[in-house]
């Protein structure tokens, strides 16, 4: 189904929206580096445990967090996400959040 992701090697993709996964697969192709999903669909309990916001897009399977370990990796991932049409991206020191939740502000990087 996807060129760069499968549930055996990427169990955190289970439950993530298929449109989001296809966009991630396309972004991965552009970035030419592996994407490691560190968080995908969350239960309300898990979201609360890790301090997620109460209306997190993760709760609906509309968001993922991707591991990043360097400025170069961050650049390649963000480039792929933008060129694939992601409109909501958060950059932290150790992960990049990408979501397709249309109920939230669009065209933002935070």
Please give the Cα distance from 42 to 83 (Å, whole number): 26
The pLDDT score that the predictor gives to residue 40 is: 98
Per-residue pLDDT 10s for the chain (110 aa) are 899 999 999 999 999 999 999 999 999 999 999 999 999 999 999 999 999 999 999 999 999 999 999 999 999 999 999 999 999 999 999 999 999 999 999 999 99
Give rounded-to-5 percent helix, strand, coil for the chain.
35, 15, 45
Q: Which residues, listed in sequence order, are joined to residue 91 by a DSSP beta bridge?
A: 96
């Amino acid at each position: 189904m996807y060129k760069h992701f499968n549930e055996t090697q990427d169990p955190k993709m289970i439950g993530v929206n298929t449109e989001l996964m296809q966009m991630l697969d396309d972004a991965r192709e552009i970035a030419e580096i592996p994407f490691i999903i560190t968080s995908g669909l969350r239960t309300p309990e898990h979201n609360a445990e890790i301090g997620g916001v109460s209306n997190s897009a993760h709760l609906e399977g509309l968001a993922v967090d991707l591991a990043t370990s360097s400025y170069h990796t961050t650049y390649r991932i963000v480039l792929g996400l933008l060129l694939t049409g992601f409109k909501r991206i958060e950059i932290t020191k150790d992960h990049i959040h990408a979501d397709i939740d249309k109920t939230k502000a669009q065209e933002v990087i935070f």
